[in-house]
Structure 1
Amino acid sequence: MSGGDQEPGRYYVGVDVGTGSVRAALVDQRGVLLAFADQPINKWEPQFSHHEQSSEDIWAACCVVTKKVVQGIDVNQVRGLGFDATCSLVVLDKQFHPLPVNLEGDSRRNIIMWLDHRAVSQVHRINETQHSVLQYVGGVMSVEMQAPKLLWLKENLRETCWDKAGHFFDLPDFLSWKATGVTARSLCSLVCKWTYSAEKGWDDSFWKTIGLEDFVADNYSKIGVIGADVRGHGLSCEGQPVTSRLAVICGTSSCHMGISRDPIFVPGVWGPYFSAMVPGFWLNEGGQSVTGKLIDHMVQGHAAFPELQAKAAARCQSVYAYLNSHLDLIKKAQPVGFLTVDLHVWPDFHGNRSPLADLTLKGMVTGLKLSQDLDDLAILYLATVQAIAFGTRLIIEAMEAAGHSVSTLFLCGGLSKNPLFVQMHADITGMPVILSQEVESVLVGAAILGACASGDFASVQEAMAKMSKVGKVVFPRLEDKRYYDKKYKVFLKLVEHQKEYAAIMKGD
C-alpha cells in the first residue's frame, strides 16, 4: 500500500467464466495482476451434442474466486468488477429461478452451453428462410447462436421450460444481473449472438418467420432491454491502423476478431456487427469450434498418454510443456515444424464454424503408423497445433478476400501461453504475433471493463492505455514459408476430399 499523502490504492476485479472453470484476478490501476484464483465448474452431457451447465453453480464459483482474490484488501478500494463469459444460454422463470433445458426435467441444469449442437434441424430451417438478417452472420446462422437454441426449447420443452420462461440471458449478461440486480443486456451479446442491430434494433419479421413471434408480442422483454454497452478491448500497436489487427482469443475454442470502418460481409464469418466491440467500427468474428478441447482430445486419447503424464509429473511440468521440450529433443537438425512432413490433420472434429460454416464436417488424420510411443504422440500433438493454425490462416484468407487487410495477430487466452501454439501461428500465417505483457490478459480485459464502469477512467480506451501493455512479439520463421505453404495445400485437399467422400456415399 502507498503511504504518506498519496492516493490510496484502487483495485479492480476481472472474472472470466470459461467452459471448464471460473477465474478471477485482482488488478491495480496500472494493469498489474496482484492476485489470481480459479475454480472448476460442472458440465453435463446427457446425450451426444447436448452440453449443459448450472447458473447457480457458476455464480457460486464466481463468488468463491472473487472472495479469494480480495483477501487482505479493504473492499472499499475495489472500485469496479468486470465479467467475460462464454455465449451460453441461461434460462430462468419469471421469478428468476432456474428452468430445465433438458428432457430429464433437472432444473439445476438451466444453461445450454455455447458448444451444444442439439438444434441442428432448427438452424437448417432458419437458414432455409434466407432472411435478410442472415447476411450479418456470414450468410448462414450457426447452431451455436441463440435463435436455434430458443426454437429447440419451444419445440421440445414447451411445458417444462418454454411456457414458464421469464428471462433468457447470454451468460455474461446473467452475471451482470446477479452482480447488480439490473436485467439490462449488453449490446455486444445481443448483436453478436441474438441478431440485434445496433443501428436498427430488433427485426420483428425474422422472429415471426422462424416461429418465435412470442418475443415480438412481449416487446422482447424476455431476451433483452439494451442497457450497459459492454465492449471488448484490444492492445495498442504502433504505426498500424487498428483495422489491420486480428485478435485471436484461444481457449477451449477460438474466436478471430477483426474490425473495419465500413461493413464487410465475409461468407462464413459472423458479422458485420456495428459497435459490438469497438465503438463506431464494424466487427467480424471468425471462429473454430474446438481448439484447446481438440488438443486435449488428441493427446489424452493416445496410447502413450499415461507415460506422458508420469514423465511430466516427475519434472513438475504440464503435459504440454513436456511435449514441447520432447519435440525439441527429437527434431535433430531440422526445424521442429518439419516433423509432420507426412502427418496431416483436418481439425473440424466438432464441425466448422468459419469460414466454411458447415457443422457436418468431421476431423481427419492422414499419415498414421502402428507406433504408439511418446515420439508418435508428440508429433500428433504438433500436427494438431499446426492444423489449428492452418484453420486461422483459412479464416484470414476469407476475411482478406472480402476486403479486410490483416497484418498482425494479437493472441490471448489459455493457448497463448503455449509457445509452440504461438510460434506455429506466426510461421503458418506469416504474420507477427503480439502477446500482452500480462499473461492473464483476458482477466485484465475484464478488469478494464470494471475500471471503466467505476468512473475512474473517462473511457474504455483510456483504461486500456493505462492498464494494458504489449509484451512479447513472436516473428514468423520466413525461411520455413515454402514448407508451410505445401502443408497448407494438403490441408485444403483434406476438406476437398472429405466432401468428395460424402458425395460418393450419398450417390447411387
Structure 2
Amino acid sequence: MKYVIGIDLGTSSVKALLVNELGEVSLEVSKPYPLYHPKPGYSEQSPEDWVKQTKEALAELIERFDGEPGDIAGISFSGQMHGLVLLDEEYEVLRPAILWNDTRTTKQCEEIYETAGKERILSITKNPALEGFTLPKLLWVKEHEPALFEKAAVFMLPKDYVRFKMTGTIHSEYSDAAGTLLLDVPNKKWSKEICGIFGIKESLCPPLLESHGLAGTLTAAFAASTGLSPETKVFAGGADNACGAIGANILAKGATLCSIGTSGVILSYEAEKDLDFGGVVHYFNHGKEDAFYTMGVTLSAGHSLSWFKEQFAKEETMEQLLEGVGDIPPGAHGLLFAPYLTGERTPHPDAMIRASFIGLDATHTRTDLARAVMEGITFSLNESIEIFREKGKEIDTIVSIGGGAKNPAWLQMQADIFQAKVVTLRGEQGPALGAAILAAYGSGIFASLEECAKVFTSYKDEYVPNPERSEQYRKLYALYQKVYPQTRELCKGLMEFR
C-alpha cells in the first residue's frame, strides 16, 4: 500500500494528512502557531513557526504510522495565499511574513493603478490591485524598509518557504503565483512589464513549477528530524483555494464550489485563459495544469456567524445556537443582515463598509437573527454566482464545504438561494486532501488528477431548490442588493466615531 501526505499551511495552524492509495485518510495531525498584529491593520507571522510546527506535525504523523517511511510516495502542499516572505542572498528570512489579511497597503494599491493603469493591470494579471496581494506588500517594503528591500534576493509565498526548508530548492507554482499581481496569468509567466514598471528585480521572482511538479526530495536533516525517508518526493502543491477545489473534484467545466470558512468563497472551474470579468471576481490559475478558476469572496462569511455566537450565545455550541433556524420562514420574519463586519470583497471591494441588520423590531427572536445572518452570508455569496451566470456560465450543481455544509437547514437555504442543486462531500478534508491528490498524481500512483480525485472524493447528501422558497428568496435578494449602496456613505461617516 502506497501513501501520500497533504500539508495545508493555514493562517492559524498547519494540518498534515496521511492518505492511502484508496483515498482513505489514515492519520491527521494539526499544530497551531501564533498570529501577530504589531499595529492596526498589520497581520504577520514568523516563517520559522511554520517550519517548526510542520516538522512537529510530520514527526507525530510518522510516529503514529504503522507502516514504513518508504511506503510514503510523496508530499505536497496547500497554503495560505498572497503572503510575503523575503529572503537575502544567504536565503535567510529578512523580516516577518506579511499575510493575506494585512491591510497596510491601501496607498500602494492606489499607486499601482496610478502608475500602470487599472486596465493594463487587469489585462496582464486578470485581478484587481487589492491590499491582500503580494505586489503591494513588496512596494510597501520598498518604500518603508528600503535598506531591507535592497538586501532581498528572492520573495517566497508561505507554503513555498516551508517546502524550501524541506528540500533546499526554491520554487513557486502557478496557482499561488497568480495571487501575487506579478504573474501574467493567461501566459503562465512572471510579467517582465510589471516588474519593470515598479522597479522589482526579475530575479526576486522564484522559478515556476506545475502544481504536480517535482520540487525535490527531503534533505537528510529534515528527514532525520521527522522520521521520513530522505527519498520522499516533494511536489509543488497549490494555493489553498485551488487545493480546496481539487479536493472537492472541481476539475471540469460547470463544476462549482461553495466554501464557507472564516471567509466565504464561490469558485468555478474555467478552461478558458482569456475570459474577461473586468476584475469584479478573481481569475486564477488552477492546480490542474493549463486550467483556471474564477472566484468571488465574502470576507466575513463564517466569521459573521461565529461573531454572532460569541456575542449572543457564548456558552452554547453552534448546534444549540442554530437549533430551530430551519423552522423560521425565508426572510426571518422581515429581517435582513448584510455580512460586512470587516468590509467586503465581491462584488464590492470596500474596506470601509460595515455590517447591518435591517428591519429589526421587538418581536424578533435570537433564532430569527441567526437565520438572518445565515441568509445574509448566502445572499452575499449568491452575488458571485450571479456574476458568473451573467457571463454565460451554467451553474446547476454546487459542492458545499466548510461550516456551511454542517447544517441541513443552511444547505437547503443555499439550494433555494443559489437556485441550484447543492451536494456535500463524504469525508470532507478540505485543501489538505487536494494537496494529497497532487502528491498521488505527481508520484505516478494515478495517471491523471481527475482519476485520482474520483477515487479520493465522493458525494454524500443532495439538496434541490424548493420552487416556492426560491421565489421568496428571489424577492428578498433584490432587497438585499439595495443595502450596500444605501449604507456605504453612512458607514464611512461613522468611522470617525470609532
Please give the TM-score of this superposition, normalised by the length of structure 1. 0.82
C-alpha distance in structure 2 between counterparts of 1:420 and 1:268, whole Å: 33
C-alpha distance in structure 2 between counterparts of 1:118 and 1:127, whole Å: 17
One-letter amino acid of the counterpart of residue 11, structure 1: Y
Q: Secondary structure at the match of 2:258?
A: strand
Q: CA deviation at 1:93?
A: 2.7
C-alpha distance in structure 2 between counterparts of 1:462 and 1:250, whole Å: 26
Q: CA deviation at 1:289?
A: 2.1
1:395 aligns with 2:395: no
Deviations 1:114-137 (CA, angstroms, capped at 9, x unpaired)? 111110111112123225232355
Query: Paired residue for 2:477?
Result: 488
Instruction: Tell me if the contact between 1:411 and 1:433 (Cα under 8 Å) persists in the aligned partners.
Output: yes
Q: CA deviation at 1:327?
A: 3.4
Query: Paired residue for 1:223?
Result: 205
Instruction: Return closer, same or farther for 1:439/1:260 CA change in 2, 3 Å cut-off.
Output: closer
Query: Paired residue for 1:62?
Result: 54
One-letter amino acid of the counterpart of residue 65, structure 2: G
1:292 aligns with 2:302: yes
**Structure 1 gap segments, 5+ residues each:** 1-8, 101-109, 313-318
Query: Paired residue for 1:315?
Result: none
One-letter amino acid of the counterpart of residue 468, structure 1: T
1:72 aligns with 2:61: no
Deviations 1:184-203 (CA, angstroms, capped at 9, x unpaired)? 11111112333312526233
Query: Paired residue for 1:105?
Result: none
- Percent identity over the alignment is 23
Instruction: Return closer, same or farther for 1:154/1:225 CA change in 2, 3 Å cut-off.
Output: same
User: Of 337, 346, 352, which aligns to 1:354?
Assistant: 346
Q: CA deviation at 1:89?
A: 2.1
Instruction: Return closer, same or farther for 1:79/1:200 CA change in 2, 3 Å cut-off.
Output: closer
Query: Paired residue for 2:321?
Result: 323
Instruction: Return closer, same or farther for 1:352/1:15 CA change in 2, 3 Å cut-off.
Output: same
Instruction: Tell me if the contact between 2:14 and 2:54 (Cα under 8 Å) persists in the aligned partners.
Output: yes
C-alpha distance in structure 2 between counterparts of 1:179 and 1:228, whole Å: 18
One-letter amino acid of the counterpart of residue 275, structure 2: I
Deviations 1:265-287 (CA, angstroms, capped at 9, x unpaired)? 113434544x5343333422221
Query: Paired residue for 1:126?
Result: 112
Instruction: Return closer, same or farther for 1:499/1:150 CA change in 2, 3 Å cut-off.
Output: same
Instruction: Return closer, same or farther for 1:21/1:421 CA change in 2, 3 Å cut-off.
Output: farther
Superposed CA RMSD in Å reads 2.7
C-alpha distance in structure 2 between counterparts of 1:448 and 1:140, whole Å: 30
1:269 aligns with 2:280: yes
Q: CA deviation at 1:24?
A: 2.0
Instruction: Return closer, same or farther for 1:434/1:139 CA change in 2, 3 Å cut-off.
Output: same
User: Of 226, 243, 247, which aligns to 2:253?
Assistant: 243
Q: Secondary structure at the match of 2:179?
A: helix
Q: CA deviation at 1:243?
A: 2.0
Query: Paired residue for 2:78?
Result: 84
User: Of 177, 183, 207, which aligns to 2:170?
Assistant: 183
Deviations 1:419-438 (CA, angstroms, capped at 9, x unpaired)? 44433322211111122212
Instruction: Return closer, same or farther for 1:379/1:91 CA change in 2, 3 Å cut-off.
Output: farther
After TM superposition, the structure 1 = structure 2 runs for residues 197-208 of structure 1, keeping only pairs within 5 Å, are 197=184, 198-199=186-187, 201-208=189-196
Deviations 1:337-376 (CA, angstroms, capped at 9, x unpaired)? 53623221111222222123333322222234579xxx84
One-letter amino acid of the counterpart of residue 266, structure 1: F
Query: Paired residue for 2:289?
Result: 279
Deviations 1:133-181 (CA, angstroms, capped at 9, x unpaired)? 323556632221111111111111223x322323311112222222222
**Structure 2 gap segments, 5+ residues each:** 212-236
Instruction: Tell me if the contact between 1:42 and 1:53 (Cα under 8 Å) persists in the aligned partners.
Output: yes
Instruction: Return closer, same or farther for 1:260/1:227 CA change in 2, 3 Å cut-off.
Output: closer
One-letter amino acid of the counterpart of residue 18, structure 1: G
C-alpha distance in structure 2 between counterparts of 1:504 and 1:58, whole Å: 40
Instruction: Tell me if the contact between 2:22 and 2:455 (Cα under 8 Å) persists in the aligned partners.
Output: yes
